[in-house]
Structure 1
Amino acid sequence: MKLELLVFVLCFSFQFLVSRALECSSSKVAYTITVSQSGDANFTTVTDALKFIPSGNNQWIKILLKPGTYKEKIEIQQDKGCIVLEGEDRTTTKITYDAHSNTLESVTFAVSMDNFVAKGVTFENSYNIIQKDTVPGVVPAVAYKSYGDKHAFYSCGFVGFQDTIWDDKGRHYFKSCYIEGAADFIWGNGQSVYEECEINVTGEGFITAHGRESAGDTSGYVFRGCSVSGTGRVELGRAYRSFARVIFIDSKFDNVINPEGWSIWHQEGHENDITFAEVNCKGPGADTSNRVPWEKKLDASEVEQYTTQAFVDQDGWIAKQPL
């Protein structure tokens, strides 16, 4: 191990002994480690770089990925903290794997810790993309899972077919990201804002499947200024649980949205509890004249509840992360 890395480990291990703070101690990166498949970096795999970060870390550590396709299956456990994963560009820097069938075990990249930032990286599950023309039907194959609070993504890519993003727990913010899939490809119980994201529909299915379980549950998906296009036909969402909540605001829909727009799925009788809504959306797919009758109509005060600040950034955590 290089001397500077050894010193880093000793310093951060001592820090953990004297401080068990759950929050990141500043908004600046304390240390950067590099990953390159060519060997001209601290590590050749993302997995080894993550192993290097000590448990209980509370200072921002950046993992800088050099361009390449990293075939790795990764889970960042809850005992880590304060990590930035940054690639050169989502078109040149990819983490991919092809696990499938079992949803929990299929995830290419899973984050269970709090305080995580990704920028300029694509997360992919390649299984259905490769197999969909050669086998009957598709199976769950997750590209990315968020299961922690205060996760932010900037100019990232998420590529799959079924269950692409498992957006499942905590507050999450997606800005200028590319998301590809067909069947329930943004799903779970997260409390998330997707802002100015490009959503590419590649088959028949549903964009979202949200799992809000009660009226007091703060979770939901809000899409602001996003674009939806592609080669498939989808509904904007179906109710994964009885109080599902998905709102599209100021977004543009190409002609890929089915006229009914939304599906009750297995939650019949809960139409009044589900919040599916469209506000000021445009494009050939935004005609709401044939939408399901239980789609919600939000007034101005209700729409204000779904700004980025009001919905996920009440304590200003986004500005405290290193960008």
Structure 2
Amino acid sequence: MSASVVTVAQDGTGDYRMVQEAIDFAVPLCNTRRIVIRVTPGIYKQPVYVPKTKNLITLAGLRPEDTVLTWNNTATKIEHHQTSRVIGTGTFGCGSVIVEGEDFIAENITFENSSPEGSGQAVAIRVTADRCAFYNCRFLGWQDTLYLHYGKQYLKDCYIEGSVDFIFGNSTALLEHCHIHCKSGGFITAQSRKSSQETTGYVFLRCVITGNGGTSYAYLGRPWGPFGRVVFAYTYMDACIKLVGWNNWDKVENERTACFYEYRCFGPGSCVSKRVTWARELVDEEAEQFLMHGFIDPDPARPWLAQRMALRIPHSA
């Protein structure tokens, strides 16, 4: 079944003027057909909510630099067209964009929380949905920029920036060929796996990590949950990364359970010999499970990621 396509344009030349209008009116409840929402260039200042009842949505822009979804909520100040009973409160409810509908795709879109530095938790996007994919997107903010809360997600060719815990949550996510930028001293990841039985974790594969000048001021991550699991593989790390690499969140007991791994990374911030003793370099056999799409798409009988890639639609189509 072919996808249905609608257009959002602020100047009134499309089917809708705002992204939320397209979600509310163009996507039927419990839809079984993919809806492509083409978003024309512009800065769209409005919180966006994709509810659990609306799956199979694609947001497609032309260039992420030109198509920006932005809002300025913080954990202590939430203004949203939905009630807090629907979207939640605190960090959970403050996302500029909140995605709870499964099988969501975004391409060539910027997701921004425009709150200034020092505003505390200020999420650009929260993803609480399974089988979601992001291609050539940007995620802009300071603290808690990208909340990969639940489900399985794939991010490719994306740019993510922030300072404190700016990629966090307890989903199973593969970030491939992404650019991670540390705007100031802090922590890149805060993964919250709570037990060794959970299959969640974040894998950064062939990524690039940069910083705003200076040396040794950012950690690769800290465990928000005691079994937090993060892998950096074949990733360039510039001098912004602290040589110790990882932080225990001021809890020595986390050192016994956190799973923080690196594999064949390089660059001035990748000095394995200086890392904390409770993080380690994987050997080839251990790394294999993290280097393939099977980490987030483990069922060969029901693959989802290849289908997402096939669904990428040129904006001019």
TM norm. shorter chain > 0.5: yes
State whether residues 49 and 98 of structure 2, in contact with CA within 8 Å, keep that contact through their aligned partners in structure 1.
Answer: yes
Distance 1:138 1:295 in 2: 31
Aligned to 1:275: 259
Distance 2:293 2:54 in 1: 26
Q: Secondary structure of the residue that 2:23 maps to in structure 1?
A: helix
Q: Secondary structure of the residue that 2:253 maps to in structure 1?
A: coil
Q: Deviations over 1:96-122 (max 9, x none)?
A: 001113312321001011100000000
State whether residues 241 and 267 of structure 1, in contact with CA within 8 Å, keep that contact through their aligned partners in structure 2.
Answer: no
Superposition map of 1:99-248 within 5 A = 99-101=73-75, 102-128=90-116, 132=117, 137-231=118-212, 233-248=217-232
1:266 Cα deviation from its structure 2 partner: 4.5
Distance 1:109 1:277 in 2: 30
Aligned to 1:87: 61
Q: Deviations over 1:122-156 (max 9, x none)?
A: 0000002xxx3xxxx33100001110100100000
State whether residues 74 and 119 of structure 2, in contact with CA within 8 Å, keep that contact through their aligned partners in structure 1.
Answer: no
1:297 Cα deviation from its structure 2 partner: 3.0
State whether residues 275 and 295 of structure 1, in contact with CA within 8 Å, keep that contact through their aligned partners in structure 2.
Answer: yes
Which of 63, 79, 83 matches 2:37?
A: 63
Which of 38, 43, 63 matches 2:16?
A: 43
Which of 223, 241, 251 matches 1:257?
A: 241
Aligned to 1:320: 307
Larger Rg, first or second structure (1 or 2): 1
Distance 1:259 1:138 in 2: 28
- What amino acid is aligned across from residue 72 of structure 2 in structure 1? D
Q: Secondary structure of the residue that 1:96 maps to in structure 2?
A: strand
Aligned to 1:307: 291
Q: Which runs of 4+ in 1 moved over 4 A?
A: none
- What amino acid is aligned across from residue 44 of structure 1 in structure 2? R
Query: Which sections of structure 2, spanning at least 5 residues, go unmatched?
Result: 76-89, 313-317
State whether residues 134 and 158 of structure 2, in contact with CA within 8 Å, keep that contact through their aligned partners in structure 1.
Answer: yes
- What amino acid is aligned across from residue 247 of structure 2 in structure 1? S
- What amino acid is aligned across from residue 51 of structure 1 in structure 2? D
How does the TM-score come out when normalised to structure 1? 0.87
Aligned to 2:87: none
1:310 Cα deviation from its structure 2 partner: 2.2
Q: Secondary structure of the residue that 1:40 maps to in structure 2?
A: coil
1:296 Cα deviation from its structure 2 partner: 2.6
Q: Secondary structure of the residue that 1:103 maps to in structure 2?
A: helix
- What amino acid is aligned across from residue 172 of structure 2 in structure 1? Q
Q: Secondary structure of the residue that 2:255 maps to in structure 1?
A: coil
Give the total of aligned pairs. Answer: 289
Aligned to 1:12: none
Q: Which moved more, 1:292-301 or 1:196-205?
A: 292-301
